[in-house]
Amino acid sequence: MSEKTIKAQATGRNGQIDFDINVDHERITDIKVTKSSETPGIFKQVVGKLKENIIENQSFDVDAISGASIMTKAMLDSGKKALEESGVSVASHLKKAEHKNVTLEVDVAVIGSGMAGLMAACRALAMGKTVLLIEKNGYLGGATILNGSNVVGTGSKVSAKLFGNKAQDDSPALLAKDISRECRGTNYPVLSNLLVNNIGKAVDFITEFADLTYQKAETQTIEHTVDRQIEMPSESSFELISKVSEAFLKKGGQILRETRVEKLNKNEQGQLVSLVAESKYETVKVNFKSLVMAAGGWGARDYREHKTDIPYYGPMTSMGDYFDFAKNMNLVSRNLDWYKIYPHGLEVEPGIAKLTTYSTKEASDMGAIFVNTSGKRIVNESAPYTHFRDAIATQKDKLAFVVMDERTWNKFYELLLKYGFTADEIQGFFNLEGKKSPILVKGDLQTVAQKAGINCANLQKTLANYAEAVKSGIDTEFGRPAQYMHEYVGDIYYVIEQKLRFCTTLGGYETNNHMQLLDKEFEPISNFYAAGEIIGGANGHDSMPSMMNSWSYASGFVAGTEAADNANSCQTSTAPSVDMDAATGATHK
């Protein structure tokens, strides 16, 4: 029999990856993943590309995928080993690639493929410009791929259709007021106004451009005065990124993956006109009329440099590369030590967290309580999440727990699976028996308290007091509304760790209201625009849920519009350009 299936197993970033290698007449015909705990939005993209490369070259000696090198290298190594151990010999088509120098001419170049970059690229393309999007990773989506598809639809036709007459309760002015209240006035009004006045336009634009469908968000969070949050039907950022990037390519846009920008060049007049980027086998020079920098935040950089002890849950590729390649542009920045800090974190490995936001919100709505290691409640569980965050921060061990019954756990578990966890991963956490993070334990009250390290006597008293509050409908301790207090059912309890976490950086470079970057003299830099997390201030020191995604939409829309308009009027010459050292700004003629 010439057909056979060879089973292989690799250890990825988040755990075990099982896959089948289909072989027919000594030829690899397919790679099928049967089990994985990797981040779905990233894994689906890189495995597709990896499979394509393996089959095309009939070899597992192809390159790992940038930005997902741990998982893809592990799959390549284990696949090669599995073939050898099965005695299968495949005729490799792998050829040594020659390094090439490539020059591209475009109207608008965009660095970064999160929603800010994709929005800017799509907007400029829709305005008739030639557009190139450059992404250093082997997958698209940046931090957006981890953040879900949830945005606000304030002022959009989409929201008017979804919310009906209730949409009239919302307005840009009300959204601006909510932003300012939530961040306690630390926002920059110019950028906040840009956000609130353009988010509706951005939502309507990208909906039409990429043929998207939105629905009311499953969770309308309390931080927003009115219902205004919308999301994709799958609630998946993978669906969002896939559809938008596919539309961009179909309509004539270009994307370079696994291509890292190394330096920016000015012409003799001192105007920004080109960049140089490196891929594995190409040095690419891009001449442009406008450049949009939407390369995300720098959370991983600060995590690796131990600038904070708060667990990080963002992409490990968020390294702030622009601090190096754009150093010669003399950009002014602010608040580089601002992070968006959330509760609802499981520390799945030292210093690395995954979010339980949707699960924890559902549990609190169903009556779960939040306690510390002393076994005492620490907050009104139904208050905005910032109250819970601040309560965790005041604990000496920076640790809290959600205590719930089995009825609530079932829903909590369902949402964990929906938002980035696997059944095997969760079972692995329980198998730790509370001996280290992440702490997930179940059993009778004494068992869970002992395993989680919670004072059992105090926890018993806390639950008894809470039961009285449920009966009376009055929470004398924290004022929790009666509709969110529910009696615990049964005598099996689940206790789930909750730690602080961060992904998003909230400071960044400064722009004017055209999303044009400013130098240290606060003068706009010709041909240079930016969008997304790289620009700080619109949401201040603390953003509401959905607002970082919303900022990527609005800022990307404006940056793309302005970059396209600039390309129309641009009179600069791209040659000869001055080759400037990215680290020092020194020129080489």
Q: Encode pLDDT of 46-62 as tens digits.
A: 999 999 999 999 999 99
CB-based contact 339:320 (threshold 8 Å)? no
Res 49: pLDDT: 92
Return the domain boundaries, the chain: 3-86, 102-338+506-588, 341-502
Q: Coil, helix or strand for 266?
A: strand
Residue 56: both structure tokens together: 């095309």
Which positions ≥6 away from 83 have C-beta within 8 Å?
Answer: 6, 21, 23, 60, 90
Closest by CA position to 370, among listed 447, 475, 444:
475
Domain at 3-86: CATH code = 3.90.1010.20
* Separation CA 232–CA 546 (nearest Å): 13
pLDDT at 94: 85
Q: Which CATH number fits domain 102-338+506-588: 3.10.20.90, 3.40.190.10, 3.50.50.60, 2.40.110.10?
A: 3.50.50.60
Q: Which two tokens stand for residue 193?
A: 């106004």
The dihedral region occupied by 43, where left means phi > 0, alpha psi between -120 and 50, and beta the remainder, is: alpha
| Residue 353 CA from chain centroid, whole number | 13
Tokens standing for residue 124: 């400029």
Neighbours of 281 (CB within 10 A): 12
Output the pLDDT for position 16.
87
pLDDT of residue 572: 55
pLDDT of residue 13: 79
Is the CB of residue 158 less than 8 Å from the CB of residue 230?
A: yes
Q: What is the CATH number of domain 341-502?
A: 3.90.700.10
Which residues on adjacent β-strands are paired with residue 530? 293
366: which residues sit within 8 A by CB, 6+ positions away? 404, 407, 408, 411, 486
CB 382 within 8 A of CB 369: no
Tokens of 76: 């390549």
Tell me whether domains 3-86 and 341-502 share a fold: no
What's the average pLDDT block by block, 10 residues per block, for the chain (589 residues)? 86 87 92 87 89 93 90 93 90 87 98 97 98 96 86 98 97 98 94 98 98 93 94 87 97 97 94 96 97 94 89 87 95 93 88 88 95 97 91 95 98 90 91 96 97 98 97 96 96 96 91 97 97 95 92 98 94 47 31
Quote the pLDDT of residue 502: 87
The residues, any chain, with a CB within 8 Å of residue 202's CB and separated by 6 or more, are 119, 553, 554, 556, 557
Query: Vertex 356, ends 377 and 115: CA angle to 5°?
Result: 135
Confidence (pLDDT) at 571: 62
pLDDT at position 309, please? 85
The DSSP call for residue 224 is: S
**Is-cis flag, bond preceding 311, omega within 30?**
no
